Amino acid sequence: MNSLDLDDCFQTALDLAKEAGLIISEAFKKAKKVEEKTSPRDLVTETDKLIEDQVISKLQELYPNHKFIGEESTAAGIKCELTNDPTWIIDPVDGTLNFVHSFPYTCISIALWVDKKPCLGVVYNPVLQQLYTARKNAGAFLNGERIRVSGKEDLSRSLVVMEMGYRPDEKKMEVVHRNAKKLIERCHGTRALGSAALDMCLVAEGAAEVYWENGLHAWDMAASVLLITEAGGVVLDITGGPHDLMNRRVLCAASPQLAQQMVQLLEVYDEDRD
């Protein structure tokens, strides 16, 4: 019974996010020990590792039968697998490059998925004091205030959030550039925060209408996809099919009409699944 006591799990996620927030705030303006992972732009700091270790060890203590997917555990070689079991999906510092630059869009993202579906999600940016929370069938909130997508349907009147992250692959960069050109020519404006989790929160709170990315990971989006659907938005695969958390891409929109306009426009390239 205890393992699926979602009130208890939600309170635990909130407590752990706030504890992690104190660690991020404490280190935010200080010099950081930085290591490169897959490229000079894919970084990890001691803060990412410290927070993930703390969060996962606490969750393992409280919920020994649950499963875990974490960005740094996966980078350290632990198998990244989503089963029907209760699974905590953690990005200790989303927007690590921002964190390294003390650019104030960095957050912790904690989600609980059961039967491969999101039950609860918490995204906390301690620098700007933004606490986003969502529970299945219970709505989405920012600092306790209910949030909703804008509902806009016209791309020419929409803000599109899109990360133009560098890919060390010419073919992929050509797709990125083609997609960017089509969108810049058709939408009201483009934006990017450098954190997928916070980019998606902008759509959930109605500050932007679309977010899409090809190449992100499960831990970047596991909490924010629930924030968007609980805020009345749409979450799909970029091809228009159902969203698959493990296939490294997502399309989020303020309305089904807007999502379909995006599906018609976007080219997709395949990445290795998580």
Is 115 annotated to bind a ligand? Reply is: no
Q: Which of residues 95-134 bind ligand LIP (CB under 6 A)?
A: 95-97
Q: Does 73 bind ligand LIP (CB under 6 A)?
A: no
* Min dist. Cβ of residue 4 to ligand LIP (A): 28
* Min dist. Cβ of residue 6 to ligand LIP (A): 26
Q: Residues 107, 124: contact at Cβ < 8 Å?
A: yes
Q: Does 52 bind ligand LIP (CB under 6 A)?
A: no
Q: HEC string of 74-130? A: HHCCCCCCCCCCCEEEEEEEECHHHHHHCCCCCEEEEEEEECCEEEEEEEEECCCCE
Segment lying near ligand LIP (by CB under 6 A), choices 87-95, 204-212, 228-236, 262-270: 87-95
Q: Residues 134, 147: contact at Cβ < 8 Å?
A: no
Tell me whether residue 44 or residue 131 sits nearer to ligand LIP (CB atom): 44
Secondary element (H or E) of residue 42: strand 42-45
- Phi then psi for 34, rounded to 5 degrees? -120, 135
Angstrom distance (rounded) from CA 204 to CA 127? 19
If phi over 0 gives left and psi between -120 and 50 gives alpha, with beta otherwise, what is residue 105?
A: beta
Angstrom distance (rounded) from CA 49 to CA 53? 6
Tell me whether residue 110 or residue 114 sits nearer to ligand LIP (CB atom): 110
Q: Does 163 bind ligand LIP (CB under 6 A)?
A: yes
Q: Does 165 bind ligand LIP (CB under 6 A)?
A: yes
Angstrom distance (rounded) from CA 167 to CA 250? 17
The strands making up 117-125's β-sheet, listed across from edge to edge, are: 67-70, 87-94, 107-114, 117-125, 130-135, 140-142, 145-146
Tell me whether residue 152 or residue 217 sits nearer to ligand LIP (CB atom): 217
> Considering only residues 52, 72, 205, 213, which one is a binding residue for ligand LIP as defined by CB under 6 A?
213
Angstrom distance (rounded) from CA 269 to CA 97? 24
Tell me whether residue 163 or residue 230 sits nearer to ligand LIP (CB atom): 163
Tell me whether residue 216 or residue 236 sits nearer to ligand LIP (CB atom): 216
* Min dist. Cβ of residue 243 to ligand LIP (A): 16
CB-side neighbour CA atoms (13 Å) of 57: 6
- Which residue has its beta carbon closest to ligand LIP? 196
Tell me whether residue 13 or residue 196 sits nearer to ligand LIP (CB atom): 196
* Min dist. Cβ of residue 18 to ligand LIP (A): 19
* Min dist. Cβ of residue 107 to ligand LIP (A): 9
Is 94 annotated to bind a ligand? Reply is: yes
Q: Residues 157, 143: contact at Cβ < 8 Å?
A: no
Q: Does 91 bind ligand LIP (CB under 6 A)?
A: yes
Tell me whether residue 216 or residue 223 sits nearer to ligand LIP (CB atom): 216
Pick out the residues of the known binding site for Mg(2+).
Answer: 71, 91, 94, 220
Chain residues in the site for ligand LIP (CB under 6 A): 71, 91, 94-97, 163, 165, 195-196, 213, 216, 220
